[in-house]
Amino acid sequence: MSEKTSADWREFGPDELSTPLRAALEVFARHGYHGASIRMIAEAAGLSVPGLYHHYRSKQAILAAVVDSAMAEMLTHTRAAADDAEERTVTRFENVVECLARFHMARRDHAFVASTEMRSMDPDVRAHHIAQRDAQQEMLEDAIRAGIESGEFTCAHPEDAARAIASLCVSIASWYRPDGPLSADDVVARHLEFARGMVGAARV
């Protein structure tokens, strides 16, 4: 995963998935992990079954690679978003929330598979995924706590607020459509307003 700079964390171009992994993502999103077969993934990737096994030893390894790539991209962008704020506490919070919202618009299938297929992950894969989710959540919680400490937020329950904001952003992947009535910027603006209210930020 390439590093994001402070100038480009809002931009999500084509993902960096290999052809087999992109094919797997599409099959998992359409049929679910248990409804997908290695043959279906191989056919979607334009490979033979032995050819797919040459790259990945199992369907579980494929799921792990797809989800890890998505989570690593989200974490990279979010760290860049937080760094872009420098010492500005409120901006740091807003950048992290905006990044979460933009990720879930740009990577709808990735987010859907990562969320719904936790139940299908082997214990070691699930543990790694949870650790990535915890790292993402920690960045949001830290931003809220910093705002509380500076007196810019009046939130009494930062952990609960962070969970609520994260859930709100995650849900975007289930309903947002690029050709819908709201632009990506509209969605960001509305969710920033919701998030500010949850942490008791002064209106801007």
List b or e across 17-29, with b for residues whose CB sees 16 or more CB atoms inside 10 angstroms.
beebbbbbbbbbb
106 touches 16 (CB < 8 A): no
Tell whether 72 is covered by a domain. Answer: yes
Tell whether 10 is covered by a domain. Answer: no
Give pTM, 2 decimals: 0.91
CATH of the domain at 127: 1.10.357.10
Tell whether 85 is covered by a domain. Answer: yes
Tell whether 185 is covered by a domain. Answer: yes
In the numeric block, the tokens 């409120």 are attached to: 90
Q: How far apart are CA 154 and CA 4, in angstroms?
A: 31
Tell whether 190 is covered by a domain. Answer: yes
162 touches 170 (CB < 8 A): no
Tens-digit pLDDT string for the chain (204 aa): 555 555 599 999 999 999 999 999 999 999 999 999 999 999 999 999 999 999 999 999 999 999 999 999 999 999 999 999 999 999 999 999 999 999 999 999 999 999 999 999 999 999 999 999 999 999 999 999 999 999 999 999 999 999 999 999 999 999 999 999 999 999 999 999 999 999 999 765
Tell whether 138 is covered by a domain. Answer: yes
The two three-digit tokens of residue 74, written as one number: 């989200």
Tell whether 49 is covered by a domain. Answer: no
Tell whether 8 is covered by a domain. Answer: no
What range defines the domain where residue 181 resides? Answer: 61-199
pLDDT at 6: 54
Q: What angle do CA 14, 53, 66 make, to 5 degrees?
A: 30
Q: Which amino acid does the sequence have at 34?
A: H
Distances (CA, A) of 40 to 11, 20, 26, 118: 32, 11, 10, 21
The structural domain count of the chain equals 1
Cβ-based burial of 185 (10 A; exposed 0-12, middle 13-18, buried ≥19): exposed
